[in-house]
């Protein structure tokens, strides 16, 4: 098993060292089914912890997959004095596939590593993941073979719950990819270090993981430009979003990608929170939270790209 190069902050999660196409059958959703676009999911009568543990066991049993990190959103919520139904996300990677896909579009790093979120919803447990059709639409990857391998990998993991059919919500082709891109005036290392320093100085914000995507790709024999991902969050802001629509856990915590393109330009990319709100059909009660998150992300990116 390859050892992926990443840095993890041991706070409220466990980590281990590591290594659809158009023919998809769409199945009608139940009343409790997630409504988010571009996801695959199952619903089961299994307990949420039992489902999560089964998924983790399945990932660990696959020699091509490596668990990167585990985040317990409910535990994080409790530290902020909030309650949240049992909600957990497991991050994992198949670097040989994802590195080849990143060759087509470096911004894909914003939706890596792969992850599956599991949450309690009424008397059901739901497991969701980003479908390959969604990733293809968002990043114009145009790599059917590797996208199918990605889809097969994720659907086979969630199928262990005894659900023979993984349900899919349509991945709507949208000319707006929901990614805010900021050109940096600094070199790669300065940009990245400034962002990490700024996040560490923010009250209530925790860096959960730092992942060196270039180094991980190199271990598979693929040379990518410099690219690092930061996964971070503030449960005071993220928890209300998941209380509203638990499916948004697949897009939380926040992520910020710093990468250098083939021309040497350094970019900072992050998800527009209003895009995620539309994707998961959040209610208007979270408008103030979304505005706060949007301002925070803009300020963090600005700290990285501006010349002091």
Give me the residue label for tokens 């571009």: 38
Residue 217: per-residue pLDDT: 94
Residue 164: per-residue pLDDT: 61
Question: CA 110: distance to chain centroid?
Answer: 7
Residue 86: per-residue pLDDT: 98
Residue 10: per-residue pLDDT: 37
CB-based contact 51:161 (threshold 8 Å): yes
CB-based contact 167:42 (threshold 8 Å): yes
What does the DSSP assignment read for 21-68?
-TTPPP----TTS---TTEEEEEESS-HHHHHHHHHHHHHH-TT-EEE
Residue 163: per-residue pLDDT: 62
Mean pLDDT by 10 residues, the chain (308 residues): 43 37 39 90 94 95 94 97 98 94 96 97 93 95 95 92 82 83 98 98 96 95 97 97 97 98 96 96 94 98 95
Q: Is 216 exposed, middle or buried (0-12, 13-18, 19+ CB in 10 A)?
A: buried
What is the spatial distance between Cα 149 and Cα 154, in angstroms, rounded to a whole number?
9
What is the spatial distance between Cα 115 and Cα 91, in angstroms, rounded to a whole number?
4
What is the spatial distance between Cα 123 and Cα 45, in angstroms, rounded to a whole number?
7
pTM for the structure as a whole: 0.89
CB-based contact 120:88 (threshold 8 Å): no
């Amino acid at each position: 098993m390859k050892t992926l190069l990443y840095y993890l902050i041991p706070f409220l999660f466990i980590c281990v060292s590591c290594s659809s196409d158009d023919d998809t059958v769409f199945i009608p959703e139940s009343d409790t089914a997630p409504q988010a676009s571009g996801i695959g999911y199952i619903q089961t009568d299994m307990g949420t912890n039992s489902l999560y543990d089964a998924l983790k066991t399945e990932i660990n049993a696959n020699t091509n997959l490596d668990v990167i990190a585990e985040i317990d959103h409910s535990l994080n919520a409790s530290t902020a004095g909030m309650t949240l139904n049992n909600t957990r996300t497991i991050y994992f990677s198949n670097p040989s596939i994802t590195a080849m896909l990143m060759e087509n579009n470096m911004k894909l790093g914003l939706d890596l590593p792969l992850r599956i979120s599991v949450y309690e919803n009424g008397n059901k447990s739901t497991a969701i993941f980003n479908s390959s059709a969604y990733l293809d639409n968002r990043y114009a990857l145009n790599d059917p073979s590797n996208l199918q391998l990605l889809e097969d990998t994720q659907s086979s993991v969630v199928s262990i719950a005894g659900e023979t059919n993984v349900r899919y919500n349509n991945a709507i082709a949208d000319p707006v990819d929901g990614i805010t891109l900021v050109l940096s005036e600094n070199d790669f290392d300065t940009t990245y270090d400034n962002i990490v320093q700024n996040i560490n100085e923010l009250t209530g914000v925790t860096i959960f993981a730092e992942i060196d995507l270039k180094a991980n790709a190199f271990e598979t024999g693929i040379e990518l430009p410099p690219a690092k991902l930061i996964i971070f969050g503030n449960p005071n802001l993220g928890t209300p979003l998941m209380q509203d629509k638990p499916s948004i856990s697949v897009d939380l915590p926040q992520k910020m990608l710093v990468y250098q393109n083939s021309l040497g330009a350094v970019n900072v990319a992050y998800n527009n929170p209003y895009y995620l709100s539309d994707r998961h059909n959040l209610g208007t009660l979270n408008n103030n939270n979304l505005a706060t998150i949007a301002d925070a992300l803009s300020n963090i990116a600005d700290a990285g790209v501006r010349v002091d």
